[in-house]
Amino acid sequence: MLAIEVADAKKTYDNKIVGIEKVTFNIKYGEVFGYIGPNGAGKSTTIRALMGLLRLDSGLVNIEGHDCFTDGVNARENVGYVPSELSFYNSMTVRKYLEFMMKQKGRGFERIDDLCTYFELNQNRKTGELSLGNKKKLAIVCALACSPKVLIMDEATTGLDPIMQQKFFEQIEKEKKKGTAILLSSHNLNEIQRCCDRVGIIKNGTLVAVKEIGEFKSKLMKRVTFETKYSHPEITIDGVENLKVDGNRYEFNYHGDMKALNDFIASLDIVNVSIVDVDLNEEFMRWY
Ligand code: ADP
């Protein structure tokens, strides 16, 4: 059985604004799926449909074999959810809020202490007094504390400092090993790529690509910069884009054969050379 199934999903707001259209993807247990797109691309619309918070015009959204709208209680029985917009009961302490949420879910409190310690979240603080980063941590702890089989996280890393992001990804790894299916949405592929098995890229409400992360990375371009001592060579190798020449300094993006590039550079009177991966996010923006 698939953990998450989205098929031909369509949602239009006010009969005119496209939220999502023809969106189709699946997520298996033990798989981390990165759902990537800039603001307004349709990520939250998809996620809100999965969470039963809006009704699709057409298509299907299932979790663990249950329709998210007509059988929402069963669909979300084992789901941990981090919404993009956070709201809590401001006067409750972190502890009370987590206990309240676990009771609502019919879960025990046994994971609360460990998770709050791990994410350095003070259980005695009122939720209304928390900083954005701490609110994010509370939402993440809440999603994890219910021992989910499916995790749906909308922009979960936004607002976390780099150390907390690292801790977050370590938890995601643990959940994945337990067999949890994980949907991680983000506008920043760099931020989440390290833990994703597959990535879906959404643009203007349409999923434009779904790829294994390895396939995605293998197609990454290199940014090549070199400087020659005297010569002004003609660039004769294939796969060069955006060539800029400034005196003896050459800079270009390269997606050709690495041996051809190395042989070419070796034939020159090089003073210095740099070959680095193009930023993943930059590459992802090429889809737009
Ligand atoms: P993302 O989560 O990727 O930022 P959204 O799913 O929030 O994108 O938005 C997708 C599109 O749907 C955008 O054009 C957005 O303006 C529109 N949209 C989202 N929610 C509403 C709403 N409640 N009413 C009208 N338009 C909406």
Domain closes at, from 157, 184, 213: 213
Q: Is the pLDDT of residue 1 over 90?
A: no
Whether residue 252 sits in one domain with residue 161:
no
Domain closes at, from 157, 183, 213: 213
Whether residue 254 sits in one domain with residue 126:
no
Between 257 and 182, residue with greater pLDDT: 182
CA of 93 from ligand 1 middle (Å) equals 32
Whether residue 206 sits in one domain with residue 106:
yes
Is there a contact between 82 and 140 (Cβ–Cβ < 8 Å)? yes
Q: What token pair was written down for 230?
A: 């005297």
Q: What percent of the chain has pLDDT over 70?
A: 95
User: pLDDT per residue over 161-194, tens digit each?
Assistant: 889 999 999 999 999 999 999 999 998 877 778 8
Spell out the residues 6+ positions from residue 254 whose beta carbon is closer than 8 angstroms to its own: 221, 222, 223, 224, 239, 240, 241, 261, 275
CA of 206 from ligand 1 middle (Å) equals 13
Q: Give the phi and the psi of residue 102 in degrees, each rounded to 5.
A: -65, -40
Whether residue 63 sits in one domain with residue 136:
yes
Ligand 1 atom with least separation from CA of 39: 4
User: pLDDT per residue over 21-56, tens digit each?
Assistant: 999 999 999 999 999 988 899 999 999 999 999 999
Which protein residue has the closest C-alpha to ligand 1 atom 12? 19
Q: Is the pLDDT of residue 137 over 80?
A: yes
Q: Is the pLDDT of residue 218 over 70?
A: no
For residue 250, the model assigns a pLDDT of: 96
CA of 17 from ligand 1 middle (Å) equals 8
For residue 183, the model assigns a pLDDT of: 97
Helices and strands (H, E) in the chain, number of each type: 10, 14
Ligand 1 atom with least separation from CA of 38: 3
CA of 45 from ligand 1 middle (Å) equals 6
* For range 192-219, the mean pLDDT: 86
Whether residue 101 sits in one domain with residue 238:
no
Domain closes at, from 166, 191, 213: 213
What is the domain count for the chain?
Answer: 2
Which protein residue has the closest C-alpha to ligand 1 atom 13? 40
Report the CATH number at residue 265: 3.30.70
Predicted model pTM: 0.83
Report the CATH number at residue 132: 3.40.50.300
What domain range includes position 227? Answer: 220-285
Instruction: Count Cβ atoms within 10 A of the Cβ of residue 232 and give its class: 0-12 exposed, 13-18 middle, 19 or more buried.
Output: exposed
Whether residue 66 sits in one domain with residue 88:
yes
Name the band, by pLDDT with cuts 50, 70 and 90, for residue 283: low
Whether residue 226 sits in one domain with residue 209:
no
Whether residue 278 sits in one domain with residue 190:
no
Ligand 1 atom with least separation from CA of 46: 6
What are residue 274's DSSP bridge partners?
225
For residue 228, the model assigns a pLDDT of: 95
Report helix, strand or coil for 160.
coil
Whether residue 110 sits in one domain with residue 53:
yes
* For range 225-251, the mean pLDDT: 93
Which protein residue has the closest C-alpha to ligand 1 atom 14? 40
Chain centre to alpha carbon of residue 36: 6
Whether residue 148 sits in one domain with residue 9:
yes
Q: What percent of the chain has pLDDT over 90?
A: 74
User: pLDDT per residue over 149-162, tens digit each?
Assistant: 999 999 998 888 88
Ligand 1 atom with least separation from CA of 11: 12
Whether residue 108 sits in one domain with residue 35:
yes
Whether residue 184 sits in one domain with residue 281:
no
